[in-house]
Structure 1
Amino acid sequence: MCLGRDRTLSDDGEEAYRDEAERWIESLAENPTLNLYWGGVGTLPALGLSVPMALESDGLADRARQVLVTLADSYLAMRQTNGYRLPTTPDIYSWGSNGNFANRAIVLGAAHDLTGRHDYRNAMIDILDYLTGRNALDQSYVAGHGERAMQNAHHRFWAAGADEEYPVAPPGALSGGANNRNMADSVAREIQGQCAAQRCWVDHVDAYALNEVAINWNAPFVWMLVYLHSTAIQPVRPEPD
């Protein structure tokens, strides 16, 4: 397709994409603690560029990989600041904190894949342990998993907590989790100022700031589970006689 000059649309577009990728990688290098969530997708270019591709020749892919490793290292440093070994500061649990942890697990998984260092994967396991019950509430945030599993999700149709005619959340659904930063619903406001950050959570259908189930939290949770499963060391089984 001609642009009316001696260039094609594909040629011009490729250069523009390259320039934009360069800009994003430099931005990430300057601020490697950007969160990956629906309102902050700045880390996604580094994840996309970290896989083998044509831009290997000019070093952009290598810089993207270094950004991811640096970001994962910052999560490991945060992990040392709290007893539950989570990639966060112990006093800040934002809306959808469980989803934030799962998204950070993607970065940790990428760093593990790039370097082979087991501490990144171990940090992912700590996140999974937290989500499934190793936390200050002794609470599994995953429906159908554990003795104290989340039951009364805030959801449009998995809403048995509001009406028994509605279905319960299916096994595997992940609650948004502890939130001490935005106590927006009536249930959350009842405990505002009375709970330590990690304990600011209630299993209640009306607690949309604490107990919502959303695809943008569950998707990285599934990614984390698949990655951990695919990278598990399989036991060596004897050959059959």
Structure 2
Amino acid sequence: MNPPDDRPVPPRHVAVIMDGNGRWAKARGLPRTAGHRKGVESVRALVENARELGIEYLTIFSFSSENWRRPEEEVTDLMHLLRFYLRSEIASLHKGGVRLRVIGDRRRLAPDIIELIDGAEAKTRDNRRLTLVVALSYGSRQEIAEAARRLAEEAKAGALDPAAIDETMVTDRLYTAGIPDPDLIVRTSGEKRISNFLLWQSAYAEFVFVDTLWPDFTKRDLEAAIEEFHRRERRFGATAGPR
């Protein structure tokens, strides 16, 4: 999709590691739950901004497999927020032409949340303006291990020759099958690590780390990250030519 004006064509796929909700709340003397709730507002704005900028795929890291180890009260609140988002935002996403896709291990989610996810994905399946990918109960190492396990099972059953296994076969068995690899990954809050997020898919992504805490992340922050992306020379392992 072309950008709405004469700005450079945006990255096709932008992924965001949303970090800093707890620090945002602590700085204001508020409970961590207040930071998470404010963070949901930032997600809503991010989706709208991505649509306006012409981004085709937007992936957000909403809840990692490691997040299950957080205090029970915090996890419970996060699940309540997830239910609220799925119930309150899907109609708006659908109206705006946004397709929702959730990736991750759903086995640990409550049955009603799984039902809400299934319904939201089915309702928005044919939308094409933006694909919103929500990484939920997601861990990239687990994702890769599961893909390897599936390949091993297929090989054991005689469905494929182990010698024929290649990168495409692995890619096709990841949660993100059918989704292009991210071009740009943004992490907020000043942390400079990727925390088990899209390890396979980010092989040639550009990374931009910003100091802004997630609840304060604005359209201008997104635009600045895209501007930085356009200043990079993406070589994909090739040697740069003469300049």
Q: Same fold (TM over 0.5)?
A: no
Which structure is richer in relative contact order (CA contacts within 8 A, separation 6 or more)? 2
Structure holding more strand per residue: 2
Who wins on radius of gyration, i.e. which is larger? 1
